[in-house]
Amino acid sequence: MVASEIRALFAVASRPEVVSLAGGMPYVTALPLDMVGELVADLVTKRGPVALQYGSGQGDPHLREQICEVMRLEGINAGANDVVVTVGSQQALDLMTRIFIDPGDVVLAEGPSYVGALGTFAAYQAKVVHIAMDDQGIVPESLAQTIYALETAGAPIKFLYTIPTFQNPAGVTLNIARRQQVLDICQRAGVLVIEDNPYGLLGFDGEPMRALRADNPDGVVYLGSFSKTLAPGFRVGWALAPHAIRDKLVLAMESAVLSHSSFTQLAVGQYLTTQPWREQIKSFKELYRERRDALLDALEALMPPEVTWTRPAGGFFVWATLPDGLDSKAILPRAVAERVAFVPGTGFFSDGSGARHMRLSYCFPEPDRIREGVRRLAGVIEQEMQLRDTFGTSSARDHQGVDTPGPDLA
Ligand SMILES: Cc1ncc(COP(=O)(O)O)c(C=O)c1O
């Protein structure tokens, strides 16, 4: 494990005068916090002896029922017995990696992929092989070719890790036709799929996408989370897995932490029972849609024409591509000096690529701040382009390992 070189820079970037388009923090201020306070107080006074006691390794049975109800919104028909509650979906990722990976084993992941997952894979010494992605998600041909090449070379592939819906960091969604293709390719090759889906219910148009897991209960382990639809501070996520894997997850969970916090599990359960959570998700979606629009409109109005970006239909992130010869990591200190921050693309690849990309998140700043942030960033990029035109291409610095910028930026 390596500390990110950019962590120190982000300490500066968290100052109030800096517009941070870097952080992936949900806007929890939009929650009815008084109500959450009452609910938590009630939990202690009325159910303290249970809420403050150890729980089971698999998680609170009632919460697991409620999780199944949440997953039904994405077409998943599952029983509470197949759910394991975890400390955020991050812990589910950690446990899955611990169970499946021996050093040197291959994990397939989109390129780019979620920085927290790449950090976990690196910690267990997995070899991450990236699969090409375009604005419709994973390219099935690239997946098939990569699996074939790895199999031919005798490299053991343990699973495909994918974020098919409103991907972090690219903001793209795997289209319906490709969903089936990806499942078919993996099934034929005997490759397990880990579907990480924390943003699936935060789509801006129409109904939620059908989860991959909905059409393949045996070949997909689904990871879910209340971090984006409620609040990450509860640290409640889950894994839905076929029986054999579920059993291992419970053992791994117990060996890691004995049991999840009963207190936060019951708090989330109580929230789901007593509060209009579907309405809350709707208001989160409206809030994030307005911020997405602010970011896209500002990019359109202010960025040099050579810069391109994705157009997310949900979630938190836009993935921007800089003109040839610009390196986002080299630009970051200058951007921070101009009071705007982003996450450089190299953090989202395990092979050092991504220097021409950056992740811009719109989940946290207010729309006006987003517009101001883009104005500052556009100025920095224009200056960089002038420097490039005067002095030639700045060569991207060598990059090794995975940047892990820290939880608030994940
Ligand atoms: C794709 C993805 N997976 C997992 C997580 C971790 O979420 P949790 O708070 O549930 O651990 C995040 C958080 O940003 C994420 O973006």
Q: Which of 87, 167, 227 to mutate to test the pocket of ligand 1 (most atoms within 8 A of CB)?
A: 227
Mean pLDDT per 10-residue interval, the chain, length 410 residues: 67 86 93 95 96 95 98 98 97 98 97 96 97 97 98 95 98 97 98 98 96 97 98 98 97 95 97 96 97 98 98 98 95 94 94 95 96 98 94 56 61
- What are the two backbone dihedrals, phi and then psi, of residue 181, each rounded to the nearest 5 degrees? -60, -45
pLDDT per residue over 359-379, tens digit each?
999 999 999 999 999 999 999
Ligand 1 binding pocket includes 198 (Cβ within 6 Å): yes
The vertex-118 CA angle with 112 and 122, nearest 5°, equals 140
pLDDT the model gives residue 408? 65
Which residues are CB-contacts of 123 (< 8 A; sequence separation ≥ 6)? 1, 97
Closest CA to 227 of 166, 268, 287: 268
User: Which residue owns the Cα nearest ligand 1 atom 6?
Assistant: 90
Ligand 1 centre to CA of 198 (Å) is: 6
b/e sequence 276-306, b meaning 16+ C-beta within 10 Å = ebeebbeebbebbbebbebbbebbeebbeee
Nearest CA to ligand 1 atom 14: 410
pLDDT at residue 64, rounded to an integer: 98
**274 CA → ligand 1 middle, Å:** 25
Strands 343-344 and 127-131: unpaired
Evaluate: CB of 410 within 6 angstroms of ligand 1.
Answer: yes
User: Tens of pLDDT along 205-235?
Assistant: 999 999 999 999 999 999 999 999 999 999 9
Ligand 1 within 6 A of CB of 227: yes
For residue 13, give Cα distances in angstroms to 7, 16, 338, 344, 374.
10, 8, 10, 13, 15
Question: Which pLDDT score, from 0 to 100, does residue 404 have?
Answer: 58
The pLDDT, as a whole number, for residue 22 is 93
Check pocket membership of 89 for ligand 1, CB cut-off 6 A.
yes
Token reading at 121: 């894979």
Euclidean distance between the first and final Cα of the chain, in Å?
Answer: 16
| Residue of 113, 133, 225 to test ligand 1 pocket, by largest number of atoms within 8 Å of CB | 225
What is the per-residue pLDDT for 398? 44
CB of 196 sitting under 6 A from ligand 1: yes
Query: Which atom, in ligand 1's list, is nearest to the CA of 235?
Result: 9
Instruction: Determine whether the shortest distance from the Cβ of 237 to ligand 1 is under 6 A.
Output: yes
Q: Is the CB of 168 inside a 6 Å radius of any atom of ligand 1? A: yes
Q: Which atom of ligand 1 is nearest the CA belonging to 316?
A: 16
The atom of ligand 1 lying closest to the CA of 93 is 4
